[in-house]
Structure 1
Amino acid sequence: MRFADSEFDPYVLSLPTCSAIPLICDSPHSGVVYPADFQSCLPTSILRSGEDTYVEELWQAIPSVGGALLAANFPRTYIDPNREEDDIDPNILAEPWATELHPTEKSRLGHGLIWSMARKQPLYDRKLWVAEVENRIATYHQPYHQALQRQIEAAHERFGVVWHLNLHSMPSDSYEVLEIDTDKPLADFVLGDRDGTTCDPTLIGIIEDFLLQRGYTVARNDPFKGVALIARIGRPEENRHSLQIEVNRSLYMDEESYERSANFQNLQRDLSELSVTVAEFVRSVM
Structure 2
Amino acid sequence: MTAFPSPVNIQWPDEWRIPFVFSSPHSGRNYPADFIQSSMLTFGKLRQSEDFLVDELFASAPLCGAPLLCATFPRAYCDANREAFELDPLMYSTPLPDYALTASPRLASGIGTIPRVVGAGQEIYAGKLDFREAQKRIHECYFPYHHALRQLLEEGVRKFGFIYLLDCHSMPATACGEGRGKSGLRGARPDIILGNRYGTSCGAPLFNNILTRLENLGYRIGLNTPYAGGFITAHYGRPDHNIHALQIEINRGLYMDQHRLAPTDGFPRLKNNISRFIDGLGAEYSSLLTA
Decide whether the 8 Å contact of 2:25 with 2:70 is kept in 1. yes
What is the aligned residue count? 276
Residue 284 of structure 2: SS of its match in structure 1? helix
Decide whether the 8 Å contact of 1:189 with 1:218 is kept in 2. yes
Q: Do residues 68 (structure 1) and 71 (structure 2) align?
A: no
Name 2:198's counterpart in structure 1: 195
Name the CA shift for 1:19/1:229 in 2 (closer, same or farther; >3 Å): closer
Name the CA shift for 1:257/1:5 in 2 (closer, same or farther; >3 Å): farther
Q: Do residues 108 (structure 1) and 105 (structure 2) align?
A: no
Residue 8 of structure 1: SS of its match in structure 2? coil
Q: Do residues 225 (structure 1) and 228 (structure 2) align?
A: yes
CA distance in 2, matches of 1:281, 1:94: 54
Instruction: Report the CA distance between 1:75 and its aligned residue.
Output: 0.5
Name the CA shift for 1:94/1:196 in 2 (closer, same or farther; >3 Å): same
The aligned runs of 1:38-77 (5 Å cut-off) are 38=35, 39-77=38-76
Name the CA shift for 1:142/1:6 in 2 (closer, same or farther; >3 Å): closer
The one-character-per-residue Cα deviations of 1:132-175 (angstroms, maximum 9, x if unpaired) are 00000010000011011111111112221011000000011234
Name 1:234's counterpart in structure 2: 237
* AA at the equivalent of 2:6: D
Name the CA shift for 1:21/1:207 in 2 (closer, same or farther; >3 Å): same
The one-character-per-residue Cα deviations of 1:208-257 (angstroms, maximum 9, x if unpaired) are 11221222100110110111111111011111100000000000000000
CA distance in 2, matches of 1:93, 1:5: 20
* AA at the equivalent of 2:171: M
Q: Could you tell me the percent identity over the aligned residues?
A: 35
* AA at the equivalent of 1:125: A
Name 1:275's counterpart in structure 2: 278
Decide whether the 8 Å contact of 1:165 with 1:243 is kept in 2. yes
CA distance in 2, matches of 1:19, 1:156: 12
* AA at the equivalent of 1:141: Y
Q: Do residues 127 (structure 1) and 128 (structure 2) align?
A: yes
2:15 aligns with one of 5, 14, 18: 18
Name 2:268's counterpart in structure 1: 265
The answer for unaligned runs of 5 or more in structure 1 is 177-183
Instruction: Report the CA distance between 1:185 and its aligned residue.
Output: 4.3
* AA at the equivalent of 1:259: A
The aligned runs of 1:45-194 (5 Å cut-off) are 45-102=44-101, 103-118=103-118, 119-175=120-176, 185-194=188-197
CA distance in 2, matches of 1:163, 1:88: 30
* AA at the equivalent of 1:203: L
The answer for unaligned runs of 5 or more in structure 2 is 178-186
* AA at the equivalent of 1:192: G
Name the CA shift for 1:32/1:19 in 2 (closer, same or farther; >3 Å): closer
Instruction: Report the CA distance between 1:20 and its aligned residue.
Output: 2.5
Decide whether the 8 Å contact of 2:193 with 2:224 is kept in 1. yes
* AA at the equivalent of 1:193: N
CA distance in 1, matches of 2:16, 2:140: 32
CA distance in 2, matches of 1:108, 1:19: 41
CA distance in 1, matches of 2:286, 2:10: 22
Name the CA shift for 1:138/1:276 in 2 (closer, same or farther; >3 Å): same
Instruction: Report the CA distance between 1:31 and its aligned residue.
Output: 0.4
Instruction: Report the CA distance between 1:80 and its aligned residue.
Output: 0.1
Residue 34 of structure 1: SS of its match in structure 2? coil
Moved more, 41-50 or 16-25: 16-25
Moved more, 207-216 or 149-158: 207-216
CA distance in 2, matches of 1:100, 1:138: 15
State the TM-score, normalized to the length of structure 1: 0.92
* RMSD, aligned α-carbons: 1.8
